[in-house]
Amino acid sequence: MRQFLLVVMMFFAINSFAQTEFGKKFKPIAPLNKPVVPKKVTPSVSTQAPVIKAPDLLKKPDEVLPSFSKYQIGQTKSFSMEQTNDFVNPGDRIMEKMTKDLDKTLVREGLKEDDRLLVKIDKNFGEIRTKSKYFTVYYRDYIYIDGDLIKATINNQMIGGIMELYSSYGQFVFNLNDGINTFEMEAYSKGTSGGNTCEFKIFDDKGVLVRSELWDNWDKGVKGKFVIVKE
């Protein structure tokens, strides 16, 4: 019972003291009647995807040097609207060299004509001694069929007219006088791909091969001469 009375007395004492301390001086602060505005935060990372520029595979890469270098590689090109191809195929250079080497070999072996190596001097094929009454000559172009023409004479008399050379053999026949006969074959023209090229074979009246010759890259007007002695 005493304890209960003690608790009640202490409650009234604390309540009386609190009212005396804050009764007149205490004024409650009214709440602010102001809406709460959320703070705008700007994201530090862009939400847009970065723009990626694809490299131009057809453009020759620029020569780049450090900014501190005082040297320069190549020459500065001025701007031009003309379309150019800066790429060089190494295979083209190799092919060009191989073609030139092959051309030189073909010319050297007599398999290709070349205007730079035209023969401009008449040739003496020497002497032929025979008992034949006539000779038959077979002739052809042994390289390119490009319109080569020849003219043949025996003792300054034309034989058969102007003759064109083909890949297959043509032929003409001429009689022989007793004693010395002068037989000449002339490169009457050049072809479209170089000098005149002719192969010819001479047979006697029994069909025996007497002489086989050729000329390579002869200029127009060059002659080949035989002295035929009929015994």
pLDDT tens digits along 46-95? 556 666 666 666 666 666 555 555 555 555 555 556 555 555 566 666 66
**What's residue 188's pLDDT?**
97
How far is residue 216's CA from residue 224's CA, in Å, rounded to a whole number? Answer: 12
Question: What is the structure's pLDDT at 117?
Answer: 81
Provide the CATH number for the domain around residue 205.
2.60.40
The answer as to whether 112 is a domain residue is: no
Does pLDDT of 150 surpass 80? yes
pLDDT at 163 > cutoff 90: yes
Two structure tokens written together for 122: 């008449």
How many domains are there within the chain?
Answer: 1
How far is 116 from 150, CA to CA, in rounded Å? Answer: 21
Domain that holds residue 225: 123-230
Kindly give, in sequence order, each residue whose CB lies less than 8 Å from that of residue 198, ignoring residues fewer than 6 positions away: 139, 140, 141, 142, 148, 150, 165, 185, 187, 214, 215, 218
Q: Which of 17-26, 128-137, 142-151 has the highest mean pLDDT?
A: 128-137
Would 101 be classed as within a structural domain?
A: no
Residue indicated by tokens 């004492």: 13
pLDDT at 13 over 70: no
User: 172-200, pLDDT tens digit by residue?
Assistant: 999 999 999 999 999 999 888 889 999 99
Q: Assess if residue 11 is contained within a domain.
A: no
**Two tokens, residue 47:** 């939400």
Query: What was the pLDDT predicted at 14?
Result: 58
| 116 within some domain | no
Continuous segment of H or E residues that includes residue 184: strand 179-187
Average pLDDT estimate for 107-129: 78
| Residue 9 counted as domain residue | no
Is 149 a member of any domain? yes
Residue 161 lies in a domain: yes
pLDDT computed for residue 181 by the predictor:
98
Q: Is 127 helix (H, G, I), strand (E, B) or coil?
A: strand
- Determine the Cα–Cα distance for residues 178 and 231; give it in Å rounded to an integer: 7
- Mean local confidence (pLDDT), 98-124: 69
Per the CB < 8 A criterion, the answer to whether 119 and 218 are in contact is yes
Whether 213 maps to a domain, the answer reads yes
